[in-house]
């Protein structure tokens, strides 16, 4: 039982730690993957360039890798844009919550005249 509770506690702590950092960790893995990928593509490019002197093989590598970069940068741009939008939404929700709390009344006696309040008793 103690072993089970310890595991659950550690899994919970790991989950809360990852929850805040998942975007950065994902970015790190994608960046490392892209570095490895581009290195592999460069080696393939050099190999094909040595085999074939003419043709459009070099151009096709450049176009493909440029498109991959554009897609990756587009993704990260929109990821950052959505993160800023989430922060703005949270701020607006908090602002609206504060405004609603200031407009709330405890009871409806504030809207009644003094003689109407006395009738209740």
Model pLDDT for residues 9-42, shown as the tens digit of each residue: 888 888 888 887 787 778 778 878 887 888 888 7
108 vs 34 pLDDT, higher one: 34
Asked if residue 111 belongs to a domain, the reply is no
Model pLDDT for residues 61-106, shown as the tens digit of each residue: 777 778 878 877 887 787 778 778 888 888 888 877 766 665 666 6
> By residue range, what is the domain housing residue 35?
23-90
pLDDT-wise least confident of 47-51, 73-77, 110-114, 115-119: 115-119
Asked if residue 102 belongs to a domain, the reply is no
Burial 64-93, CB ≥16 within 10 A → b, else e? ebeeeeeeeeeeeeeeeeeeeeeeeeeeee
Asked if residue 8 belongs to a domain, the reply is no
Asked if residue 3 belongs to a domain, the reply is no
Count structural domains, the chain: 1
Asked if residue 72 belongs to a domain, the reply is yes
Asked if residue 76 belongs to a domain, the reply is yes
Summarize the confidence of residues 31-60 as an average pLDDT.
76
Predicted local distance difference test score (pLDDT) of residue 106: 64
Asked if residue 17 belongs to a domain, the reply is no
Asked if residue 70 belongs to a domain, the reply is yes
């Amino acid at each position: 039982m103690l072993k089970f509770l310890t595991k659950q506690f550690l899994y919970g702590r790991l989950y809360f730690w990852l929850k805040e950092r998942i975007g950065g960790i994902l970015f790190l893995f994608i960046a490392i993957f892209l570095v490895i990928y581009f290195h592999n593509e460069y080696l393939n490019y050099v190999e094909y360039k040595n085999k074939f002197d003419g043709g459009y093989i070099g151009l096709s590598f450049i176009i493909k890798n440029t498109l991959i970069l554009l897609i990756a940068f587009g993704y990260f741009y929109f990821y950052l844009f959505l993160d800023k939008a989430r922060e703005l939404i949270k701020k607006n929700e908090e602002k609206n919550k504060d405004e609603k709390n200031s407009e709330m009344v405890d009871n409806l006696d504030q809207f009644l005249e003094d003689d109407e309040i006395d009738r209740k008793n």
